Amino acid sequence: MKIRERYTCPLEIVHDIIKGKWKTIILFQLQYGAASLSQLEQHIEGINQKMLLQHLNELREFGLVQKRSFEGYPLHVEYSLTSERGQKMLRAIGIMQEIGIDYMVEHGMTNVLDQKGICYQHH
């Protein structure tokens, strides 16, 4: 995903950076610290490795995620949030998560929250 040459608003850029089903979920998972590809794949239900790699590469391009390779065999690679932009985006995603939880509670979808062990307040 490339950034377009022309935008009318900074929010358009942010939308392009995080659009897609998985990017916000990947960033949310990385709040717990550096993770390998297989760890991310295990924790993100429904994502395949090809899609995960594609999104990780795009998130790296935009300066939200960094990749660290360790010497030795087998090759070990970890992904983590960048300290500036990645952490800032994580704060925004936290707010988005809260809005999603509120909506699910309001619309009786708490079974999903219960399955995932997500805390919420009953209204």
Whether 2 maps to a domain, the answer reads: no
Residue 79 lies in a domain: yes
Q: Give the pLDDT confidence of 4-58 residue by residue, as tens digits.
A: 788 899 999 899 899 999 999 999 999 999 999 999 999 999 999 999 999 999 9
Residue 113 has pLDDT above 80, yes or no: yes
36 in a structural domain? yes
Task: Check whether 123 has a pLDDT greater than 60.
Answer: no
Does the residue 122 lie in any domain?
A: no
**pLDDT on residue 121:** 77
In a domain, 104, yes or no: yes
pTM of the model: 0.86
Number of structural domains in the chain: 1
Question: Alpha-carbon distance 64 to 7, whole Å?
Answer: 20
Secondary structure of the chain in HEC code, one letter for each residue: CCCCCCCCCHHHHHHHHHCCCCHHHHHHHHHHCCECHHHHHHHCCCCCHHHHHHHHHHHHHCCCEEEEEECCCCCEEEEEECCCHHHHHHHHHHHHHHHHHHHHHHCCCHHHHHHHCCCCCCC
* Domain CATH for 95: 1.10.10.10
Percent share of the chain, pLDDT over 90: 79
Q: If you average pLDDT over every residue of the chain, what do you get?
A: 92
Domain that holds residue 23: 10-116
User: Is 2 a residue whose pLDDT tops 70?
Assistant: no
In a domain, 1, yes or no: no
